Amino acid sequence: MVVRRDSAVGERAPDGSSKTGKSAKKAVGAEGETSPAKKAAEKATKKVTKRAEKPAEKPAGKPAGKKAAPAAKKTAAAKKAAPSKTAATRNTPAKKTAPAGRTTSAGKAAVARKVKPADVVLPAEAAVEKAAPVKKIAVRPPGGESPTALVRRARRINRELAEVYPYAHPELDFENPFQLLVATVLSAQTTDLRVNQTTPALFARYPTPEDLAAANPEEVEEILRPCGFFRAKTRSVIGLSKSLVENFGGEVPGRLEDLVTLPGVGRKTAFVVLGNAYGHPGITVDTHFQRLVRRWQWTDETDPGKIEAAVGALFPKSEWTDLSHHVIWHGRRICHARKPACGACPIAPLCPAYGEGETDPEKAKKLLKYEKGGFPGQRLNPPRAYLDAGGKPAPPLGAA
């Protein structure tokens, strides 16, 4: 099984502390957004991507996740984070380099490096940054489109994807918010399939936060071994279970500012739980989401928080969770990091990056994954709609 960066994950070290550099590689957390290597890759990508002027952040209307703001404002870190964010936005110059939708060899190298496990560092986000609300900003297309044209194109892409993936759903098996929270933390640096094959044994042995909080770490490590980073993941899931028991009465909280206080839980993990276990709209900016929205020129931002804000401005809040599923599903099945199947892509006419991947229809068809390529999905227990559409359940761990 090839281990890949495939899922929304926790962004903090298991003990809740920040980790960078070498030590962070051992931790379970985010997908390496702040690693030096990744920053270099992102920088290289920036240089080969056609850009217009970066959008200035402009608060407009009621921000999503408003409840998280007070907690964020209370910390000193918040005061530090805000000015630097503003400065970065103001000082980013407009760049014009390679033609839109084309990636140079340097750009391809950058993309390749982004998915190389060795480059993946799992840093912490500042707590305040994690709990900050989604900012509403003005639509500022990075290409030559008008804001109206970009909104129309973006929404059309989402509508088309909704037809391609009418059964889109979170690809982690779960039966309650606790299971989804743990599964999402475990999905760092591995596939949802591998997590789904591992969690049945975990939840059978430790069905509640109380059970997992009192678990013998060595026993949990043995169960989690197939997920990779099993020691760090064991610390995370036991740590978050203890926190749930001690601070939240053994229940998974339904608020962003509470969720991000849990060890190993960052914004992405929090939004996965909020969106799929509690029905609160949220945008999950994972590695697929970041790659695709830049290919589509919905934004040229590289910071997950800014991507969240830029994409959020293009869609009604009520569509955010389904939009996240559509984009992530398309990234997993057709618009891959290294070899996007452009020749088999249903939204090719709407995509400025058409041609970045294989355009020959027959060759492109062979690149399709999961149900689009005729293979099983990632969930052992997928929703009925998926099965009705011809999707197949994933096999359990150890099955041929």
Cβ 151 to ligand SF4 shortest distance, Å: 18
Location of structure tokens 């936060």: 209
Question: What is the per-residue DSSP string for 362-388?
Answer: HHHHTT--GGGGT---S-SS--HHHHH
State whether residue 247 is helix, strand or coil: helix
Cβ 283 to ligand SF4 shortest distance, Å: 18
Q: Cβ closer to ligand SF4: 180 or 348?
A: 348
The Cβ-side half-sphere exposure at 305, using a 13 Å CA radius, reads 21
Location of structure tokens 């088309």: 160
Q: Cβ closer to ligand SF4: 235 or 295?
A: 295
In 164-234 the beta strands, taken as DSSP E runs, fall at none
Cβ 85 to ligand SF4 shortest distance, Å: 29
Cβ 353 to ligand SF4 shortest distance, Å: 4
Answer left, alpha or beta for residue 18, where phi above 0 means left and psi between -120 and 50 means alpha: beta
- Let me know: does 124 contact 13? Beta carbons within 8 Å: yes
**Both structure tokens of 253:** 């909280």
Buried b (16+ CB within 10 A) or exposed e, 353-383: bbebbbbeeeebeebbebbbeeeebbbbebe
The candidate with the shortest Cα–Cα distance to 267, out of 283, 288, 250, is: 283
Q: Cβ closer to ligand SF4: 202 or 342?
A: 342
φ/ψ of residue 365, rounded to 5 = -60, -35
Name the active-site residue from 25, 50, 233, 268: 268
Cβ 286 to ligand SF4 shortest distance, Å: 16
User: Does residue 366 have an active-site annotation?
Assistant: no
Name the active-site residue from 286, 300, 303, 322: 286
Residues 30 and 232: their CA atoms lie apart, in Å, by 13
Residues near ligand SF4, by CB under 6 A: 295, 334-335, 340-342, 345, 347-348, 351, 353-354, 356-357
Cβ 278 to ligand SF4 shortest distance, Å: 30
**Both structure tokens of 301:** 């931002």
Crossing angle (nearest 10°) for helices 287-295 and 304-312: 60
**Both structure tokens of 113:** 């490096």
Q: Cβ closer to ligand SF4: 78 or 115?
A: 115
**Both structure tokens of 86:** 């503003």
Q: Cβ closer to ligand SF4: 168 or 341?
A: 341
Q: Cβ closer to ligand SF4: 32 or 357?
A: 357
The Cβ-side half-sphere exposure at 302, using a 13 Å CA radius, reads 20
**Both structure tokens of 317:** 């809040």
User: Does residue 268 have an active-site annotation?
Assistant: yes
Q: Cβ closer to ligand SF4: 78 or 337?
A: 337
Cβ 341 to ligand SF4 shortest distance, Å: 5
The residues annotated with a catalytic role in the active site are: 268, 286
